[in-house]
Amino acid sequence: MATPRFDGVELFLQIVESGNLTEAAERLNLTRSAVGKGLARLEARLGTCLLQRSTRRQRLTEDGQAYYEHCLRALAELEAAESVLESGRQQPRGRLRASVPLAFGHHYAAPALWGLMDRYPELEIEICFSDRMIDLAQDGFDMAVRIGPLPDTDRLSARRLGQQVMGLAASPAYVQRRGSIESIEDLAAHRGIAYRSNTTAHRSRLASPLVLDDLQAVADAAIAGVGLAWLPSWLIAHYALRGQLQAVLPSYREQPAPIHVIWPTAAHMPAKTRCAIDALVATTPSCLAGS
């Protein structure tokens, strides 16, 4: 049987994008030996060397770079063709993979997305909760919600959902125990709870013996009376309504950070992605308004 003309293309792209054979093998669920042999067969069929490999690194040859770019363009055309077919369907269907921030995802983004499943029975949703800045294309996501500045790239499209402002909060019990806070200078006498990625200079006014990398965990610690916490205003408002947190020095806040939904730029957007974006745009502004 003749070798399929495009056999090995996906494997080659995965090797290039992974950076090495071992990582590509893990992503393709193959052995490293199988990946290496697959690449060798592709190079033999094309009659050229695509990658220069050593024990420490790999580098595309001139032919490899040209072939890689042609493959990417061909895949983009195929994806556009599939999107045209998808957009012609009345009902969104298939698996939607979304990445959302931990706390914001739990409170707002995820409920908006899984609410679509009642309306669209053929839609499957997979949600990854993480504050990590993921690469949509490399990690295989259809869309993501991001808080903060966006990268300057034409590979991503974005739509603004609102903005997030960080402020200080504490439990009523903590304030009663440690005393009210009337000025910024009073912060020096209080204990803080730090969020790992928060690095603004004025937070040095708070000694923070507890450092956490999850905003929800920061909120939980503040509710437990551990100390003062920098939290999003929408999260403070959520727990203030329940009497579990109260704002401290309300005028002492950060500059707002934009909240966007982003997706890979393409000529045609799949119906599943479009309906998810519309759901977030419809629900997020009203959720943030109360904060």
| pLDDT tens readout for residues 12-66 | 888 888 888 888 888 888 888 888 898 899 889 889 999 887 767 788 899 989 8
For residue 202, pLDDT over 50 is answered with no
d(CA 102, CA 83) in angstroms, rounded, equals: 30
> Domain 9-74 falls in which CATH fold?
Arc Repressor Mutant, subunit A (1.10.10)
Fold assignment, 92-160+257-288: D-Maltodextrin-Binding Protein; domain 2 (3.40.190)
Widest distance between CA atoms in the chain = 82
- Whole-number pLDDT of residue 281: 92
CATH 3.40.190.10 domain extents, the chain: 92-160+257-288, 166-253
- For 209-268, write each residue's pLDDT tens digit: 888 888 899 999 999 999 999 999 999 999 999 999 999 988 777 778 899 999 998 877
Q: How far apart are the first and last CA of the chain?
A: 65
Q: Which residue has the tokens 């005028």?
A: 251
Burial class (CB in 10 A: 0-12, 13-18, 19+), 232: buried
Give yes or no for residue 85 having a pLDDT over 70: no
Distance CA(264)–CA(155), nearest Å, equals 6
Query: Strand runs (DSSP E) across the chain, as ranges?
Result: 51-53, 58-60, 94-100, 123-129, 143-147, 156-164, 166-170, 191-195, 207-212, 228-232, 246-253, 257-264
Fold topology of 166-253: D-Maltodextrin-Binding Protein; domain 2 (3.40.190)
In this predicted structure, which of 62-76, 85-99, 136-150 has the lowest mean pLDDT? Answer: 85-99
The DSSP code for 29 is T
**Tell me, what DSSP letter sits at residue 106?**
I
